[in-house]
Chains A and B, each alone.
Chain A
């Protein structure tokens, strides 16, 4: 896995749209849902939904940024 990225990849084709933007769009939508859902809730289900929806992008960032290296 790690070797795939150590070479220049100009011979590899560009990724299709969803391959490139799929995760960013999913994480962006999750963030938006989290930000809005807590507005309609006061200590209820909307808050819990917000923690989950906002927590996932945080965990994804932490995992790819640092967690994955530690687990190798």
Chain B
């Protein structure tokens, strides 16, 4: 009775723990969260994504053979979403200033307010009673002489030539790249802002589905193709595929484990119990992760399958031991404890040691798998072991499985050794001939394999705005003044880089950045001008202009007057201004950021980036990130692997207390890594951020096989065939399960995660073959008289 209450209490506590943990699980789709935050590219790109990526702005692309149909479709979509305030706060199919031209006056007034005081004094003088007529006459002359359509159109609505005071360089000058339509009009874009910010990725996915559904309801001209991209589409795509990858890889791993177990033992009840244990371990690990770790990144998602693949090893070991066990449960637990504690400790230690890395993604991977391994060992020893004993007592005597019979056959062991030797020769030869696998740190490995959002983005880049070779300038400061100083310094560097031939062109937020000092000086000069409006209007009419020619001047002068009591720095606030500034300026209570675009000359990206790089200023792109990772990550991995290798050697040294065993372990592990590199070269695989992590996983998992074999040789007095017989089945089960775990993520939607799965599965198979067939043979060759280790 007491035992029952204890179990019920334990179950309730476990349920509460699991409930609390799972409810806190959240995904972070930002790939940068996995990379070292101290890297300038990571730092700059993180700021870019946080402040300028527009998390609530969906980009709907409209493509059609006819410009008229594309225009009609874009307008229809914007009109339809304009009637759905439950979904969309703002639907924009053309620039806001096209809808409300008068709105532009605010931004215009703001930009003039930022001009140097001497220029503003000139403006004020030009508007004075004695100069106004001459200013207007000069404009009329320009209207007569100019061949520039821009100048003619502008001057006819700006008769006092206020725009003449503004700098023509920078953000707004030159040919305007439309963010709404391709040059031929057959590709249009509609921007949809969500009605409210998304609380989590599930809300984001649901919103996108609603938008797709609502768009399908709009009657569009025939032949129109819609695409959905932008931050909400990426979040929905990536988090959706992460969720799916996690669930599907975990599920498929469980199925494969069940098949392997069934083929070896042909027993249903222990199979069900083992599956139950794995689910329990997975749930407890995920709940622990939810409670103690921050958001799961894409690399953490892959751990579900890996954890199951590793934890099942302990289950196999316990079950295999239980088949021949005649003592009590406690004795079985004691018997298994040494081996499981040994491998679990070493595996967990290696994974937890990943915290030594400066890569947050690797640390998370290490923590997740480490927690999973520890929980797995505890569950298998405390829950599964008693179950196997209970089952064993009621089951028929154990019959040898096919694998056990094979490992009992000297012919099979010989054939296995020759096959593995041949494989090693081929792989080492491949490495020698083809060289080490190439390194690929491009953004390709960081993105999903299939993504509608990426497809739409590629169309957008091909048809509208190709920013693939553009570097983004991010400038940050504690306030507008600090950001301005840094922005000016960055502009200076960019201008110098342009002179050196490193930059084709650049545009920064400088022309639309508030200059507090100028605003303070200019405002008292400009705000009283509103009192002169009647006189100025009369002067305009007298010069031959119509009423409408004065509208812009009128609006600007009134705006200055409206700002007269505001404290600098003053920002424009109407819809048009906000639309224009949303991609170039971002303000928070403790940080003010500006953005710019730089077109580098190919081959000079590093030089320009280095020239601009300084505290608070970054020149970033995904391409530059790849280059930076290529420089930094291999060194980082070498450091981490060397540290882990040293830790492993110490653990193995203490465990074996035998130099030859340690030497054999080192040679085996090295040979596995060499063969893996050869296999990767042969298969045309490349090293990237993700599958470099696979090396660490191999250190943590694959080495268990050689350790177990060496321990078995120790137990069997150096009798290699006996050791192979003892561990053949368990290692086969382990490698099949672990490879299944990794194998299932080979099909993950994330390219990098899939590469990690492929590399690990390949590495584990090689490791198992070498450990099972060559390691005992090598020992026998070295010690023909069966010397005990």
* A and B found bound together: no
Give chain A's interface residues, CB within 8 Å of chain B. none
